[in-house]
């Protein structure tokens, strides 16, 4: 395939994907129904239901503007053969591949960060504030950014350089060695993140041993034959009024974290049902399934990257005279995007199936499907969720089934 054709196809895919995404969002807005579903009468009042729809409309418009700016910059950079131009500049700065690699990705990362910060700030301090969710202070916002930047430097940079080193050093099986190293790193991070990284951003407080909630959760865990190292509350209210709970850790380091906002808004029975759902993912092997799929897709990606680096045609298309692994990583991301899009659809389908299974597990282990339904309703109301998403939006992007489908499935239990 000729470089000019590849150049055109990549730019066309980026633009068409943006247009397609905007069409899906338009259909999603059009699918809004002004009539409150009967299932939610008594949970949403007329004012709150309208507020949830306004929240979706505002976020959709904002996301569209954000995407338009990002896509415009990306297309302009590629159309002007920016990768070749930037590579020429960083090559004049340093001779060693390490410094050229860091300079290349550093410039791109800095520019991307500078353009994204205003949108992030607006989303947090204007949109989330307008709808009553924001609890983030300017200090917290800045500290979150600095901590994330620090983690990128301390963790991301070594991983990035190691990846380049594998492909530079081992031309034939570099992808396989890189995959083994990346898989091992991922497994280590499953143990390290809950202990060292997550506490950098949030405070985790052990749930009072003698509390009604702690006793109820432990009784449910015993019934489910699930060993738990700890039950914690997390200061989610530090940033948002939204509610959530999650399962973290691996092996004997399994922990459950409840947002303090969740505890404030739900009964003990509802909280136990929510946690039973999270445990259901583990008991139904969804965690292992997700890990296996992640490792398989990363193996495919790295294998294709190895093949890609041996071809010069895409490098030539974007003005790169001397192909390198670090420029290849950028260009490969463009070529791999359609594959990633298709894989993402199948992952979403599987994820939605797993959510139904976890709901059924929660209903079985608690013996009260109605409590899980009540919890889902409250979560939807508290987070101003969209109750009537367009089916195509769900099919392409939703990792969780729409709440009305989840409730219907639980009622059939």
In angstroms, the CA 389 to CA 377 distance is 16
Pairwise CA distance, residues 58 & 127, whole Å = 8
288 and 407 together in one domain:
yes
Do 399 and 294 lie in one domain? The reply is: yes
Which strands sit side by side in the sheet containing 204-206, from one edge to the other?
204-206, 230-234, 255-259, 245-248
The reply to whether 224 and 332 lie within a common domain is: no
What's residue 220's pLDDT? 92
Together in a domain, 390 and 288: yes
Burial class of 51 by CB neighbour count within 10 A (0 to 12, 13 to 18, 19+) = middle
Q: Chunk the chain into consecutive blocks of 10 residues (it has 413) and report each block's average pLDDT, rounded to whole numbers.
A: 86 95 97 92 91 97 96 94 94 90 96 95 96 95 96 96 95 93 92 86 88 91 84 90 79 78 92 92 92 95 95 91 94 93 95 96 92 94 94 96 96 79
Position 3 scores a pLDDT of 80
Does any domain span residue 141? no
User: Is 320 in the same domain as 397?
Assistant: yes
Examine residue 312 and state whether it is found in any structural domain, yes or no. Answer: yes
Q: Are residues 320 and 403 in the same domain?
A: yes
Torsion, CA 351, CA 354, CA 359, CA 363, rounded to 10: -170
Total number of domains constituting the chain: 2
Of 25, 270, 278, 374, catalytic: 278
Q: Tell whether 8 and 48 lie within a shared domain.
A: yes
DSSP secondary structure string for all residues of 147-214: HHHHHIIIIIHHHHHHHHHHHHH-TTTHHHHHHHHHHHHHHHHHHHIIIIIGGGTS-EEEPPTTSHHH
The pLDDT of residue 250: 66
| Same domain, yes or no: 227 and 295 | no
Query: Where residue 230 sits, what CATH number does that domain have?
Result: 3.30.2010.10
**Alpha carbon distance 190, 193 (integer Å):** 6
Of 25, 87, 270, 359, the catalytic one is 359
Query: Are 334 and 406 found together in one domain?
Result: yes
Half-sphere CA count of 390, side-chain side, radius 13 A: 15
Residue 290 forms part of a structural domain = yes
Q: Is 359 a catalytic residue?
A: yes
* Residue 361 forms part of a structural domain: yes
For residues 298 and 407, state if they share a domain.
Answer: yes
* Residue with token string 């999650």: 246
User: What values do phi and psi take at 324, rounded to 5?
Assistant: -145, 165
Q: Give the N- to C-terminal CA distance of the chain in Å, as an integer.
A: 55
Phi, psi of 137 (to 5 degrees): -90, 165
DSSP three-state, residue 363? helix
Establish if 390 belongs to a structural domain.
yes
Active site residue 39: no
317 with 258, same domain: the answer is no
Give the 3-state secondary structure of residue 344. helix
The alpha-helical segments, DSSP class H, found in 238-285 are: 260-265, 268-283
115 domain-assigned:
no
Within a domain: 123:
no
Domain that holds residue 332: 3-97+284-411
Residue 307 confidence (pLDDT) = 94
Is 147 within a domain?
no
Residues 341, 300 share a domain: yes
Please report the pLDDT score of residue 272 as a whole number.
94
Q: What CA–CA distance (Å, rounded) separates 334 from 338?
A: 8
């Amino acid at each position: 395939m000729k470089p000019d054709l590849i150049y055109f196809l990549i730019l066309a895919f980026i633009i068409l994907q943006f247009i397609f995404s905007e069409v899906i969002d338009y259909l999603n807005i059009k699918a809004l129904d002004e009539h409150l579903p009967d299932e939610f009468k008594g949970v949403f009042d007329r004012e709150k239901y309208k507020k949830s729809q306004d929240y979706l409309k505002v976020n959709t418009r904002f996301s569209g503007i954000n995407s338009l700016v990002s896509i415009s910059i990306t297309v302009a950079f590629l159309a002007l053969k920016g990768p070749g131009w930037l590579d020429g500049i960083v090559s004049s700065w340093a001779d060693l591949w390490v410094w050229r690699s860091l300079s290349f990705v550093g410039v791109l990362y800095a520019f991307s960060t500078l353009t994204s910060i205003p949108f992030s700030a607006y989303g947090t301090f204007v949109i989330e504030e307008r709808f009553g969710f924001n609890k983030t202070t300017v200090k917290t916002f800045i500290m979150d950014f600095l901590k994330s930047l620090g983690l990128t430097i301390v963790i991301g940079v070594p991983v990035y350089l190691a990846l380049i080193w594998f492909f530079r050093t081992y031309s034939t099986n570099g992808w396989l060695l890189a995959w083994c190293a990346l898989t091992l790193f991922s497994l280590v991070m499953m143990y390290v993140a809950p202990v060292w990284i997550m506490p950098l951003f949030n405070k985790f407080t052990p749930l009072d041993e003698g509390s009604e909630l702690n006793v109820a959760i432990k009784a449910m865990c015993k019934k489910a034959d699930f060993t738990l190292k700890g039950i914690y509350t997390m200061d989610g209210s530090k940033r948002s009024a939204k509610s959530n709970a999650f399962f973290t850790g691996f092996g004997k380091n399994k922990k459950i974290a409840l947002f303090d906002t969740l505890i404030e808004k739900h009964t003990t029975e509802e909280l136990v049902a929510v946690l039973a759902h999270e445990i259901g993912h583990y008991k139904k092997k969804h965690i292992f399934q997700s890990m296996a799929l992640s490792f398989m897709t990363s193996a495919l990606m790295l294998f294709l990257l190895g093949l890609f680096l041996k071809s010069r045609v895409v490098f030539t298309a974007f003005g790169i005279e001397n192909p390198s692994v670090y420029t290849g990583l950028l260009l490969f991301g463009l070529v791999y995007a359609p594959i990633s899009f298709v894989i993402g659809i199948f992952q979403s389908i599987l994820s939605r199936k797993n959510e139904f299974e976890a709901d059924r597990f929660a209903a079985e282990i608690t013996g009260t499907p109605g409590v899980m339904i009540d919890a889902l309703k409250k979560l939807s109301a508290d987070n101003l969720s969209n109750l009537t998403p367009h089916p195509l939006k769900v099919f392409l992007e939703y990792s969780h089934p729409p709440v009305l489908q989840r409730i219907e499935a639980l009622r059939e239990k």
